[in-house]
Chain A
Amino acid sequence: MTIENNVLVKLTEVGLKQRNKWLVKGVSLIVERGKIVTLIGPNGSGKSTTAKIAIGLHKNIEGNVEKFTDKIGYVPQKISIDWTLPLKVNDFMVLTDELDEEKINEALKLTGADHLKNQNLGNLSGGEFQRVLLARAVSKKPDLLVLDEPVQGVDFTGEIALYKLIKEIADKLNCGILLISHDLHTVMTATDHVICLNGHVCCSGTPKDVAMNNEYKLLFGEQASQTLSIYEHKHDHVHSNDGDIKKN
């Protein structure tokens, strides 16, 4: 453990079987302090499951999860606030932890959501809501941030702004980030490591070498290519219909 001072969470060959079906199998990954790891993959490929395994939400898993911190900030996928529950942003901020006024303001300011403090959660737009979720997750100054599709329901410009913000937060808090992207091909340039899942780890690598991809720049402009990258998948296998994996 001494040599892994910067490691926040380490998954070794983890798998989860539910109703006789493997949701994920043989997934290994490491999130270190100050590093951003992005998970991509098609729907049902086990991205959320992997993230939940990493923070200990799934019991009865195969393999090994080592957590070196308890200070975890979590932005779940698809959170909807019911109209039956009147909830203001301010109340939402202190949902799982007591926070003083100053810390609430600080976190909201960090994500550019300080003007929303007295708004009802139900009245927020998609982008505003994601910023509030992010503010809540960072308010406790976590070591590990787990973000499950933090840019969903946000348009392209908003997406770039949010990714920039996530990078800023990572630098400021010096925390590790496990990010799940809803897009199979574009990921944050700031990502240190990309893992493509499809029930298992299909491929992985750094996105940096494709950040300057000319076609991509042409399509989205210089500004975008500083924030988003196209991730080129280098698969060495194919999935057949019966779930078998064949090497090319």
Chain B
Amino acid sequence: MFDDFFIRALIAGIGVAFVTGPLGCFVVWRRLSYFGDTLAHSALLGVTMALAFEINIAISIFIISSVIAIILVKLEKNTNLPGDALLGLLAHSALAVGLVVIGFLSFIRFDVMGLLFGDILAVNVDDLIIIWGGGAIILIVLKIIWKPLFASTVNYELAEAEGLNPDRAKAIFTILMAAIIAISIKIVGLLLITGMLIIPTAMARNISDTPKKMVIFSICGGLLSVIMGLFSSLQFNTPSGPSIIAAALLLFVISLFKIKQTIQLKN
């Protein structure tokens, strides 16, 4: 049963879940799920760039996502359009341009479905190094900026007034978002990355009463989703990325019962 590719898939998925847990908490707290989606959509453009110029896919995605994030900040400052409109503009433009570029690259054949929904069973050793190495760097950086980032999530002005630097923390966090998308695209695919970030976190919110617990439960939820999703995908021959997200959804639904209990206790 434990074929080599399956072990690699498990190790890759587990590595991603460790990083999406804490990052997902900030995505939920700071209401950035649509922002995550936009970066993920722009990843398609990153992939086509990688194929066109023959560079590493993860690095290419990371660069393109970062550029999109910078463009977003510039547009927010220099236009009168609301944030969600700008996000929609960038998300769909990046997706469209990516698909157009693919049209020009007709000499290259690649699996668009795998790109959209993940291709975890095709993970190779290089991917594992990128996921675990990149993941470790993301977590270390997140740990360093935790205090200003968290304080400014609660209240921006409070954090700034008391000598923290919320703007720098926010900028670094944006780069971390681009990085997690770059390393997890092969696991769940660009259409489902935001799901991996927010569904285990949403589950964790239902069962936690402190931020620390929420981060821990979010990681646990992600790990369980990866394991359950992968085994069921092997068992029932379903696509692996969607299976992982479906498993996360199942955990979320179970956690709703816990909420119901707490509310009943309060009354």
Contacts and interface: CB of A to CB of B under 8 A. Distances in A.
A112 interface: no
A87 B154 contact: yes
Contacts of A57: 157, 160-161
Nearest to B29: A85
A67 B152 CA distance: 23
B157 A95 contact: no
B181 to A, nearest CB: 21
Interface in B118-161: 147, 150-151, 153-155, 157-161
B103 interface: no
Interface in A67-101: 70, 72-74, 76, 79, 81-82, 84-88, 91-92, 95-97
A52 interface: yes
Given A87-B210, A88-B210, A96 B162 contact: yes
Contacts of A120: 209
A55 interface: yes
Contacts of A86: 205, 208-211, 213-214
A36 interface: no
Contacts of B209: 86, 88, 120
Size class of the contact patch on chain B? 20 to 34
Contact of B151 (A55, A56, A70, A95): A95
B28 A79 contact: no
Contacts of B161: 52, 55-57, 72, 74, 76, 146
Q: B208, B210, B213 — which one has the most chain A CB atoms within 10 A of its CB?
A: B210
A84 B205 CA distance: 7
Contacts of A73: 162
A57 B209 CA distance: 32
A5 B105 CA distance: 71
A79 B211 contact: no
B154 A95 contact: yes
A122 to B, nearest CB: 10
Nearest to B208: A86
B96 interface: no
Contacts of B151: 95-96
B163 interface: yes
A76 B210 contact: no
A117 to B, nearest CB: 13
A74 B158 CA distance: 6
Contacts of B28: 84
B164 interface: yes
B158 A87 contact: no
A146 B158 CA distance: 11
Interface in B199-219: 205, 208-214
Nearest to B157: A76
Contact of B162 (A91, A92, A97): A97
Nearest to A133: B158
Contacts of A52: 157, 161
A82 B155 contact: no
A95 B150 CA distance: 8
Nearest to A76: B157
Contacts of A91: 210-212
A120 B262 CA distance: 14
Contacts of A79: 155, 158
Contact of A96 (B153, B163, B213, B214): B163
Interface string A26-69: 00000000000000000000000000100111000000000000
A73 B163 CA distance: 10
Contacts of B31: 84
Nearest to A79: B155
Interface string B87-122: 000000000000000000000000000000000000
Interface of B: 28-29, 31, 147, 150-151, 153-155, 157-164, 205, 208-214
Closest 10 CB pairs of A and B: A74-B161, A96-B162, A95-B151, A76-B157, A86-B209, A85-B29, A96-B151, A55-B161, A79-B155, A86-B208
5 contacts: A55-B161, A74-B157, A84-B29, A91-B211, A120-B209
Given A74-B157, A91-B211, 18 more contacts: A57-B157, A57-B161, A70-B163, A74-B162, A76-B155, A79-B155, A79-B158, A84-B28, A84-B205, A85-B153, A86-B205, A86-B209, A88-B209, A88-B210, A91-B212, A95-B154, A96-B163, A146-B161
